[in-house]
Amino acid sequence: MKTLSAVLGMTAAAAMSLSSLPASAQTYPDRTITMVVPFSAGGPTDTVARLVAESMSKDLGQQIVVENVGGAGGTLGAGRVAQADPDGYTILLHHIGMATSATLYRKLAYDTLNAFEYVGLVTDVPMTIVARKDFEPTDLKGLVDYVKANKDTVTVANAGIGAASHLCGMLFMSAIETPLTTVPYKGTGPAMTDLLGGQVDIMCDQTTNTTKQIQGGTIKAYAVTSPERLAVLPDVPTAVEGGLDGFQVGIWHGVYAPKGTPSEATERLSKSLQVALQDPNVVARFAELGTVPSPAADATPAALKAKLEGEIARWKPVIEAAGQYAD
């Protein structure tokens, strides 16, 4: 049993180590945190961000407020956070676009691998290839044949160069060797409105934005880009089943902070993210939308850093081979 002096010694040491932390670190967070989402409100990234932010707010005891800064395929919002004060009160939730934009944009306003601190991975969302509900083709093979035959008139919606919908659309066009007319939006939230209205023909978008519409029959679904069919969309075949060999893509998401943000803050946020990803409400909502939370072990700065570095290296040769740059 520890002696009183040992306990006293320890609390003194703990007090010492705590007191060596800047006051702000001891009480972080002590006010509202802004989470920047680099796409429009109501879209898939916004949906994931608001679910996670709500749960993290409870754990942190401070509100995380989502701010949508859409445009330029997500690079405007990312740039906003790269420039923000590194005090732990501005963070970013972004996805695979963080990695693809590092190559797609040759004049990016920030150095992707040196402008951010890392908090952790969040989820990896499958994509779906969908169309307006009155679009003629009835399966993926029919869709491929139709768009090849009508390549001058078919339109593909996306959320700008660097977006997940842009990446998936680019992979689809190169898989069928048919360039199509793309229609950019600030997010697939507003793009979905036009797809529902029949103003655009097809889109490749995350299940977090399409599942409810597909289940409701308000849009047509041709494929999911996951290795297996999804429990929430049992009648939608995988793209590989539909004849697009190797066509698999998942949209991983992560939370970042400006470079220089104290590790006490990013570690605290990481702990809170881990709690949020095990929150039964978050788990249930993610499942309804066709995705699952990242394992708590991946909701760490080291895991996100490794993922981003690996994904930049993975997509660089693909993008350079396609030769499609944003600038």
Q: Degrees (nearest 5) of the Cα angle 3, 7, 11?
A: 170
Peptide bond into 237 cis (omega under 30): no
Specify the residue for token string 């004849």.
243
Beta carbon of residue 16, minimum distance to ligand MLT (angstroms, whole number): 46
Beta carbon of residue 189, minimum distance to ligand MLT (angstroms, whole number): 6
Beta carbon of residue 264, minimum distance to ligand MLT (angstroms, whole number): 30
Helices then strands, counting H and E runs in the chain, come out as 12, 9
Nearer to ligand MLT by C-beta: 142 or 250?
A: 250
Q: Do the Cβ atoms of 26 and 18 come closer than 8 Å?
A: yes
Nearer to ligand MLT by C-beta: 97 or 258?
A: 97
Specify the residue for token string 């402008």.
115
Nearer to ligand MLT by C-beta: 29 or 71?
A: 71
Q: Residue 233: how many CA atoms within 13 Å on its side-chain side?
A: 32
Beta carbon of residue 151, minimum distance to ligand MLT (angstroms, whole number): 22
Q: How is residue 286 annotated by DSSP?
A: H
Specify the residue for token string 């029919």.
142
Beta carbon of residue 167, minimum distance to ligand MLT (angstroms, whole number): 8
Q: Degrees (nearest 5) of the Cα angle 20, 258, 26?
A: 25
Q: Which residues of 153-173 are buried (b: 16+ CB within 10 A; e: fewer)?
A: ebbbbbbbbbbbbbbbbbbbb
Nearer to ligand MLT by C-beta: 28 or 39?
A: 39
Q: Is 121 helix (H, G, I), strand (E, B) or coil?
A: strand
Nearer to ligand MLT by C-beta: 49 or 244?
A: 49
Specify the residue for token string 């360039």.
179
Beta carbon of residue 45, minimum distance to ligand MLT (angstroms, whole number): 3
Nearer to ligand MLT by C-beta: 167 or 276?
A: 167
Beta carbon of residue 97, minimum distance to ligand MLT (angstroms, whole number): 6
Nearer to ligand MLT by C-beta: 186 or 268?
A: 186
Beta carbon of residue 164, minimum distance to ligand MLT (angstroms, whole number): 3
**Binding site residues, ligand MLT, CB under 6 A:** 39-40, 43-46, 97, 159, 163-165, 187-189
Nearer to ligand MLT by C-beta: 159 or 176?
A: 159
Closest listed residue to residue 247, CA positions, set 217, 224, 275: 224
Q: Degrees (nearest 5) of the Cα angle 198, 199, 201?
A: 70
Q: Do the Cβ atoms of 103 and 315 come closer than 8 Å?
A: yes
